[in-house]
Structure 1
Amino acid sequence: MPNASKRVADVIQARLENLTRAERQLADSLLDNYPVSGLGSITTVAENAGVSTPTVARMVQKLGYRGYAEFQAHLHQELEATLSNPIAKHDRWASNAPGTHVLNRFAEAVMNNMRQSLGELDTASFDEVAGLLADQRRSLYFVGGRITGALAEYFFTHMQVIRPKTTLMSSNTSAWPQHVLNMNPGDVLVIFDIRRYEADMATLAQVAKAGGVEIVLFTDEWSSPVSKHARHCFKLAVEAPSAWDSSVVTLFVVEALVEAVQNSSWAETRERMNTLEGLFEQARLFRKPR
């Protein structure tokens, strides 16, 4: 039986090479509108993929599930997890909360998130993203949603010190077309999209990718629909004993990328920082010790 913490989509992707041609056709159909495409009856799923019902049954068992019912139960659990509102999340945690202090519960959850995320993070992909962000021939765009917009702004604030050609996009979707108009092939769009995924993010990613823009996605372990369009996807653990998802691991990866980028071009970054400090001095932005 597959690891319960792994998405069905990840299990399918990991075993694609072992599938027959018909099973790969079924896998493509399931991943195309995931997870909704797998929520119908076994007959409906087979018809939508253009394969036989026995093909569905065989592939499900090849993936490690005991049968179609167990396979579909995992999909339902994933869907419930991604659609949970803050009240539902709070109630789920509260009903199982141990008697320890909230600080201890949070610390344990965050450390588990960190271990899980680092264990699954591809360092080669991390290095490639750092390279994309450091390439000054490319313009960088950052965007997040209602909550994750703060993470996008934090990332942008640091990157605009390190290098030119950086833009923070508003969470207001009406402003996006103007930014997309300015994007060129090879530019990089960094998107933050955590469950409950914001519907317009996938549209933005699709349009930008069609124009040759490289998409870098920060999401959770269940993965935003934007992942279909992303060249690089950081799927990070976000569960916390709270009504809200945790941003600790996401911020950790963001700060590690900031360090990787500034370290790759430190001489130029240092010069920009010195110039910026001079501007701060002229503007008397910060208090000086007497």
Structure 2
Amino acid sequence: MRRSVGQILGRTGIRIPLILWSIAVLYPIFWMFLGSFKSNAEIYRNPWGWPETFSFANFSQAWTNYNIDISVFNSLIVTAIGAVLTLVLAIPTAYAIERINFRGSKMLFTLYISAMMIPMVLGWIPLFFLLNDLNLLDNVFGLAIVYAVSQLPFSIFVLTSFMSTIPKSLEESASIDGLSPYGILFKIVTPLSMSGIITVTIMNCIQFWNEYFMALIFLQTKTNYTLALAIDYISSEAQYTNAWGTLFASLVIAIVPVIILYAIFQRRIAKGMTEGAIKG
């Protein structure tokens, strides 16, 4: 009896702070959702209450007047290209480091891991001049390349931990059967590492979709703005035009895809990160 009471008290002591923290985090998001359906007058009159009528006027205004549609398209392009390019570079590199014994392989892996510890802000100025010399400044494709390179260390770190547990006997059998090294990589190693690949892809997509500072530095014209920059522009405009409902609507447009993506793949992400930690 004492043990059961102690367990109940212990669980309660853990759950209460978690519940309070969840409320503190979720309530501002819930308030933002409600504000996106209110008019500006209603936001000032009743900021914490339910909207009198659920109107989509703010979403329409954000989509047309503030060119959120273009920014969403730019973010989709940058996220898709960045995620695919990261996999194209990370998968062969991780396989080479993990499976091919060559001089300096361990040093190369250490170099990639060390790059995770270097703040990205240190490379922004050199990257700015490099993109300018390559005529990729103010270009969503140039930004996608920067995103892909910035996530390479993390992606390689996760993928090598997955590839390290694949039995070498499978690769040796495939090699005896006449499969080339590239065939072994793409037909055997890649499918068996799919949990890690999916985890890396989802984490990178969320990172690219929400990224702000590099987009602010490398993009200059409004037609090339990603969603984060468009929201920042609306936020600055809202101070003078009172377009708070439009700002809330644009925030909802930005956050809903991330919530849906994480809700669908949360188990896959948790499983992939846990397996990667154990296998590493």
Which structure has more relative contact order (CA 8 Å, sep 6+)? It is: 2
- Greater percentage in helix: 2
- Which category describes the TM-score, using the shorter chain as reference length? under 0.3
What is the TM-score when the length of structure 2 is the normalising length? 0.23
- Greater percentage in strand: 1
What is the TM-score when the length of structure 1 is the normalising length? 0.22
